[in-house]
Chain A
Amino acid sequence: MTAISDAEKLRQLGEQATEARMNVEIETEGMTLNLGPQHPATHGTLRIIAKLDGEQVVVAEPVMGYMHRGYEKLAEVRTYPQVTTLVNRIDWVGSFANETPFILAAEKLMEIEAPPRAQYIRTVLHEMSRIANVMLGIGDMGVQIGAVTPIFFAFRDREYVLNQIEAVTGGRFHPNFDRIGGLKDDLPAGWIQNTQNAMDKVLEFCDQIETLMYGNEIFQARTRGIGIIPKDVGLSYGVSGVNIRGSGVDWDVRRDNMPQGLVYDQVDWKVWTHPDGDCYSRMWVRLQEVREGAKIVQQLLKQIPAGPVMAKVPRIIKVPAGEAFVETENPLGVMGYYIVSKGDLNPYRVKIRTASFSNISITPWLLKGVFVPDIIAILGSLYFILGDIDR
C-alpha cells in the first residue's frame, strides 16, 4: 500500500508547490473553471472543478453523486428476480452485462447452474452488450476531440447489434432477460445467422474507424503521450478493464477469474494490452476489444448446444443465507456484486462494485498539470458512463 501513500504525498507536495509558485512568482489569481454538471463533455452529470493557471490545470476534483439513484438500498426491498430491472440502468449502454454478475452471484448462493445452452447465450449477449457499449465509446472519443463524423458511424453500426439484442430480449437498452437459473426465452428462429452478419458489420466498422480516426495525424497528436497512467498507479487506484490493459497490465477477468456460468474458455480469443498507458493506447485496446468481442460471438454462435434454457428452480425464489461475490469483465471494466442473504425473498445487503467509479477516481491525479483541451481527451479516453459512477 505504499504506492498510494507515496503518490498521495507527491500529489500534496506538488499542489503546495504550484500554489506557491502561482501566488508568489507570477502574482496572479488562479481561475476556477467549473466543468459541469451540465457540460457537453461529460455526457451526463459529472462535475469537475478545475483550478486553472492560464489554460493549465493546477487542481482538478471530480464531484460525483448528481445522478445517485440508490440502487444498492433499493435492491434490499426488491425480490431477487426484481433486482435485474434496477441494475439494468447502471451502465445503460451495455445493459445486459450489468445483470450477469448479479444473477451469477445469486446462482452461486443457491448452488444451481444454468443449462449449457443458457450459459452460451448469456455469454453471447454479454459480449454483444460490450460491443454496443465500446463502439459508442470509440465514436464518442471522436466527438470529445472535435471530429463529429466517427460518432455517426458508431451510431449507425451499433444499430445492427442493438437490433439483434432486441430481437432476442425484446428490449434495445434494458433487456431484463437474465433469470436465476437460466434465461427468460430461447433464441428466435434465424437469429444466429443474422447475428453472424451483424458481427461482420461490426468488424467492418472497426476497419473503417481505424483508418478514419486512429490513423489520423491530429488524433494521434492529441492522444499520444497525453494522460499517461503508470501500471502501479493505475492498480493502486483500482483502475480496471480496458483502462488498465492500456497501461500494459495483462489482466482480464474473463480469462483469469472467469465465474462459473460463462463459457469464455470454450473459444479462442486474445487479451490485448498496450504498453504506453496514454489516451491513444486506451482507445487502441478498446478497438481491439470490439474486434475480439465480435470474434467471440461468432465462435460461440457456431457451437451453441441444444437443450433447455432454464434450470429447475423453485417458483418462489428464496436464496439461502450466506455471502457471495461475483465479478465479471464488463464493457467499462470489472463489475462485481457482493450479496449478503439472510434466507429471505430479498437480499439483505447488495454492494455493487462498478468500474467507472474506480476509473474516475484517478482523475485528480491524472489531470494535474494538463491543459484544458487535454482534460476532455483524457475523460473521453477513460470512457465512463455516469450511471456506472453514481448508480
Chain B
Amino acid sequence: MISLAFWIETTFRSVGGLAAVLLPAGPIVYIFLFKMMSFMQSRLGPTEAGPAGTLQLIAEVGKWIQKEDIFPEKADRLIFAAAPFVVLASSFLLVLVVPFGPDAWFVNLDTGIYFALAVSSVSVIGILMAGWASASKYSMLGGLRAAAQLIAYELPLVLAVMGVVIQAGTLNMQDIVLAQAEGEIFGWGGIGNPFIITQFLGFVIFMIAMQAELTQPPFDMPVAESELVTGYLTEYSGIRFLLFFIGEFATAGVFGMIASVLFLGGWWVPGLDPDSNLFNIIGPGVMFAKVMGVMFLVFWFRFTYPRFREDQLQKLAWKVLIPLALLNIVFTGILKVVF
C-alpha cells in the first residue's frame, strides 16, 4: 500500500475516473464500429485520416463540434439541453465502483455492484427527457420505447448478477475480484475461479440484458433508424448529439468493465499474487483487454442480428430471461449450501 496526501489521492482518483470512461470509448468506436464492422461487411472502413484511418474519430468529433446546435421551435429548451448530460453522467457514476487494481479504485463501496446497477437506470431519465422535450413524434415514440426496454431489462441484469453475488458472498466489487482470484473449482485453484465458468448461464443472461441496456442491435428499437428515423436522437445535432454518442459508447465500455469484473476476474490474471503492487500498474491494461473481449461479443451480435419488435423484446425479457435467471439463483444457492 502506498500512502499519499488525501488531496493528491482524490485528484488521482477523479482524473482516473474521467480517463476510465472516456479513453476506452475511442478505441471501442474505432476498432469495432469502424474497422470490425467494415470487415464483417466486406468493405474497408476509414482509411484516409491517419494511418489506417485511426484519426477518423477525431475528424468526426471536430465535425460535430463545429455544427450548429439546433433547438426545435417547440422544444422544452432547458430539458432538451440538459438531457445529454444526464445520460453521460450515468456512465460517470457507473464507473465509480469499478476497481482497476488492489489500490486503483475510485470509490471502494461495500455495496458496489448494488450501486452500479442502481445508477445505470439514471440514463433512462435522460433518454425520456430527450424524447419528451424534442416535441417530435419520432422522439416521443423512441423515448417511450427506451424507457420500457431499459426498465424491463434491468431485472434480468440484476438477477443475473445475483448468482455471482451469492457465490462471492459480497457486494463489494473489489472483493468479487479477490473471490475469483482466490477461488477454487472443485478444489483446484490453478486459474482461480473466474465466475464465467461456474456462472455461465448468468454470464449469458448478463450479456443479453447488457446488450439491451446499451440499446445495441438486436435491441435498438429506441433508435430504430428505419422506423423512427433515430428515435430520441432525431432532433439532436452538433455537440449535443456528440454527447449522446460518447455516452452510448462510454456506457458500453463501462458495462464491459462491470462484466469483466463480475465474470472474467477483473484486473487479476491467473498465476500472479493478487496482493502484489504490480497489479496497480498492469491492472488497467488487463481490464482494457478484457473489456475489449466483452465488447467484441457485443458488436459481433450487433452486426449479425436484425432488430426485435417491441413486444418480442418484452416477451424475451419476462418469459425467458427472468425465469432462467431465477433458476440460476436457485441452483447457485443450493450449490453454495452443499459445497
CB-CB nearest in chain A for B37: A148
Hey, which chain B residues are within 8 Å of A218, CB to CB? Answer: 218, 305-308, 312
A222 to chain B, nearest CB (A): 6
Hey, which chain B residues are within 8 Å of A143, CB to CB? Answer: 226
Question: Which residue of B228, B307, B310, B311 contacts A147 across the interface (Cβ within 8 Å)?
Answer: B307
B221 near A373 with CB under 8 A, answer yes
Q: How far is the CA of A212 from the CA of B41 in the complex (A)?
A: 12
B227 within 8 A of A: yes
Q: How far is the CA of A142 from the CA of B41 in the complex (A)?
A: 13
Within 8 A of A (CB), among B272-318: 303-312
* Interface class of chain A by DSSP: helix
B265 within 8 A of A: no
A39 within 8 A of B: yes
B42 near A146 with CB under 8 A, answer no
Q: How far is the CA of A213 from the CA of B225 in the complex (A)?
A: 19
Hey, which chain A residues are within 8 Å of B42, CB to CB? Answer: 152-153, 156
Within 8 A of B (CB), among A372-387: 372-376
Residue-wise, chain B 222-243 has the 8 Å CB interface mask toward A (1 for contact) of 0011111100000000000000
A204 to chain B, nearest CB (A): 13
Interface-central residue, A144, A146, A373, by most chain B CB under 10 Å? A146
Question: Which residue of A34, A145, A221 contacts B226 across the interface (Cβ within 8 Å)?
Answer: A145
Tally of A-B Cβ pairs under 8 angstroms: 82
Q: How far is the CA of A222 from the CA of B141 in the complex (A)?
A: 19
Query: Number of residues in A with C-beta < 8 Å to the partner?
Result: 31
Question: Which residue of B229, B306, B310 contacts A146 across the interface (Cβ within 8 Å)?
Answer: B306
B226 near A144 with CB under 8 A, answer yes
A41 near B141 with CB under 8 A, answer no
A384 to chain B, nearest CB (A): 15
Hey, which chain A residues are within 8 Å of B303, CB to CB? Answer: 148-149
Within 8 A of A (CB), among B25-64: 37, 40-43
Question: Which residue of B41, B226, B309 contacts A152 across the interface (Cβ within 8 Å)?
Answer: B41
Given contacts A41-B227, A222-B308, 15 further A-B pairs with CB under 8 A are A33-B137, A33-B138, A146-B217, A146-B226, A146-B307, A147-B305, A148-B37, A148-B303, A152-B41, A152-B42, A153-B41, A212-B304, A216-B306, A218-B312, A222-B309
Hey, which bits of chain A sit against chain B, CB under 8 A? Answer: 31, 33-34, 39-41, 55, 142-149, 152-153, 156, 212-213, 216, 218-219, 221-222, 371-376
Hey, which bits of chain B sit against chain A, CB under 8 A? Answer: 37, 40-43, 137-138, 141, 217-218, 220-221, 224-229, 303-312
